[in-house]
Chain A
Amino acid sequence: GAVVSQHPSRVICKSGTSVKIECRSLDFQATTMFWYRQFPKQSLMLMATSNEGSKATYEQGVEKDKFLINHASLTLSTLTVTSAHPEDSSFYICSARNTGSLYGYTFGSGTRLTVV
């Protein structure tokens, strides 16, 4: 079945540095990918929708200059958290829409970001 590989699974970084998270669709092409943020014991909050070859669409309240999204190919989308602060510590999850299936979303396994 469709697989989305997300890594790193865990990352610890210092305040002020940037962190890049990758999301790859392994056996299908994903024209659209979604990035979510999940706080402990809370739901997934959609941050942005990325479309291959175009600018990402950010949800209201999400700083696009802080959370840089690049979707340069049909199998790769990246989320870069710039100038990270402790409040950016969270669980980030990507999801890819499988254009080859009737209607499928496949989720990555998530990245636990801790900013110290």
Chain B
Amino acid sequence: AQSVSQHNHHVILSEAASLELGCNYSYGGTVNLFWYVQYPGQHLQLLLKYFSGDPLVKGIKGFEAEFIKSKFSFNLRKPSVQWSDTAEYFCAVNAGSRGGKLIFGQGTELSVKP
């Protein structure tokens, strides 16, 4: 069965620090990968997604993620975080056909200190 693992449960950073959130998945075939953000009291929003092509994907709000197939990883990065990036971040995987069910990781809570 597919599974998604996010290594960090809670990350605390100061503003302007660099961010990297880990995400690993277990599935041997073709995958589509996503990062979502959930701000306090709000619904999930898509940050970025990877289907194929360039493994370095750029998303909204300065976020990017790199797909490393050999490591089954899709880590999220941002060079300089802001206080407004405080939120919960979820990695998700859809295996096989597009449009199928998404499997989510456990989530990482990011707290950015002003």
Chain A residues in the interface with B (C-beta under 8 A): 32, 34, 36, 41-46, 49, 93, 95, 97, 103-105, 107-110
Closest to A94 in B: B43
Closest residue of A by beta carbon distance from B46:
A105
B105/A43 in contact, CB under 8 A: yes
Please give the distance in Å from B25's CB to the nearest CB on chain A. Answer: 13
Contact A44 B104 (CB under 8 A): yes
- Does residue B42 face the partner (Cβ distance < 8 Å to A)? yes
B87 CB–A CB distance under 8 Å: no
Query: In the complex, what's the smallest C-beta–C-beta distance from A8 to chain B, in angstroms?
Result: 14
Partner-A contacts on B (CB < 8 A)? 32, 34, 36, 42-46, 49, 51, 90, 98-99, 101-107, 109
Which residues of chain B are near A103, meaning CB under 8 Å? Answer: 32, 49, 51, 98-99
Which of A34, A44, A49, A103 is packed against the most chain B CB atoms within 10 Å? A44
- Bound-state CA distance A3–B2 (Å) is 28
- Taken together as a complex, chains A and B put the C-alpha atoms of A107 and B44 apart, in Å, by 6
- The distance from the CB of B45 to the nearest CB of chain A, in whole angstroms, is 8
Does A93 contact B43, Cβ atoms closer than 8 Å? yes
State the CA gap A34–B100 with chains docked (Å).
9
Instruction: Name B10's closest neighbour in chain A (CB-CB).
Output: A41
Q: Which residue from chain B places its CB closest to the CB of A109 in the assembled complex? A: B43
Complex: how many Å from CA A46 to CA B51? 21
A-side contacts of B102, CB under 8 Å: 34, 46, 95, 105
Quick one: which of B49, B101, B105 has the most chain A CB within 10 A? B101
A45 vs B106: C-alpha distance in the bound complex, in angstroms?
9
The minimal Cβ–Cβ distance linking B111 to chain A, given in whole angstroms, is: 13
* B106 & A43 in contact (Cβ 8 Å cutoff): yes
Residues of A within 8 Å of B105, CB to CB, are 43
